[in-house]
Amino acid sequence: MRIHPITLLGISAVMVAHLSTARGATPVLRVGFDSWVGFAGVFAAVDRGFFEKEGVTVELRSFPGPTDTIPPTIAGDLDIALTTPDNVMSVDASQKADLVTIDVIDVSVGADAVVARNDIVDIAGLKNKKIAVTFGQCNELLLLEALASSGLKQSDVTLVNMDADAAGAAFIAGRLDGAVTWEPWVTQVTSSGKGHLLFSSKQAPNIIFDSAAVTRRFAAGHKKEIEAFIRGMDAGVAYLRSHPEGTYAIVAKALAIKPADVALMLKGVKVFDLDDNRELFGDPAKPGQLYAAMDSVADFQVAQQLYKVKPVIATTLDSTYVRSAWSHVPEE
């Protein structure tokens, strides 16, 4: 399950009790997540004890969507939010928060998609049709990319504002001509026979990322713990790549789905390791491709009036912890 409309600091969030540790005990990191298959490396790292090997204990806290992890992180009731870098940009720009993206976990390469009724055979067939999408979020940007591929504009379709879970359910219930949704709804739509895939994030790469974010005030006093978290995730991704079947079972348990579904859904996601992150972030002298990707997303968010002043991308992304974590990875 992915993006929900942003209604952040003005609304009370789920509060998680702070987990204190005695002097000398293993530090505990409270990490908020939502049910997304791209977090496979995180789930594997928790299950296999990779975080403990790096010197931290990770306590996972479940939330409905990636925006929902942000308020308790800003409030100090979570240490790390598993969210999306575009959500971090939006919160920083509109609410003057001090949240920063420290690691990129995955990018959608097919797990987010535009689905339509079977009688709508191509993107052009969406003209004058009713389509559900989450206004102002990256799945709306995905729809605009799809429409542009057939020479259509946003004004050529009738849009209904829904989060992607609701859109998937409404589509299967027969209340929509099309929908922009994500896994597991994409698989449910295609397997149900009630619709088919028209366009996916595979055809529009570098739009929908997932990431880990912290507040700068937390980062200032917990650099070692953040580095340990990043290295633990890296070990989890390595386990996913070397033991896929075992990881499918771990993720299936975490998300309450079947291992076979996990295997299918992961085909639509590219999960990043630490080396991938070094390339994506680059360094201060030569920023990586993540900065250009987020710059394009920020342009879209401003155009959609999600906020008025475009953020400085470099203030919302921080490569410090990825570079430091990599430099402290022990030799094989």
Using DSSP bridges, classify how beta strands 80-83 and 28-33 pair: parallel, antiparallel or unpaired: parallel
Q: What single letter denotes the amino acid at residue 91?
A: V
In the chain, what are the domain boundaries? 28-107+208-327, 112-200
Best CATH choice for the domain 28-107+208-327 from the list 3.40.190.10, 3.40.50.970, 3.40.50.300, 3.30.70.2470: 3.40.190.10
pTM: 0.87
The answer to whether 100 touches 213, Cβ cutoff 8 Å, is: yes
**pLDDT at residue 22, rounded to an integer:** 43
| 3-class SS of residue 79 | coil
Tokens of residue 81, six digits: 């939010």
In CATH terms, are 28-107+208-327 and 112-200 the same topology?
yes
**pLDDT at residue 304, rounded to an integer:** 85
Each of the 332 residues of the chain gets a pLDDT tens digit; together they read 443 333 333 323 333 334 444 445 899 999 999 989 999 999 999 999 999 999 999 999 999 888 899 999 999 999 999 999 999 999 998 888 889 999 999 999 999 999 999 999 999 999 999 999 988 888 899 999 999 999 999 999 999 999 888 999 999 999 999 999 999 899 999 999 999 999 999 999 889 999 999 999 999 999 999 999 999 999 999 999 999 999 999 999 999 999 999 999 999 999 999 999 999 999 888 999 999 999 999 999 898 888 888 989 999 999 999 999 987 655 54
> Residue 62's beta-bridge partner residues?
33
Q: Which residue, among 107, 48, 71, has the nearest Cα to 236 in the 3D structure?
A: 48
**pLDDT at residue 137, rounded to an integer:** 81
- Give the phi and the psi of residue 272 in degrees, each rounded to 5: -95, 145
CA-CA-CA-CA torsion sign (285, 318, 108, 257): positive
Dihedral angle at the C-alpha atoms of 31, 77, 95, 293, nearest 10 degrees?
Answer: -10
**pLDDT at residue 216, rounded to an integer:** 95
Element of type H or E holding 186: helix 185-192
Class (C level, CATH) for 112-200: alpha beta
Three-class DSSP labels, 244-270: HHHHHHHHHHHHCCCHHHHHHHHCCEE
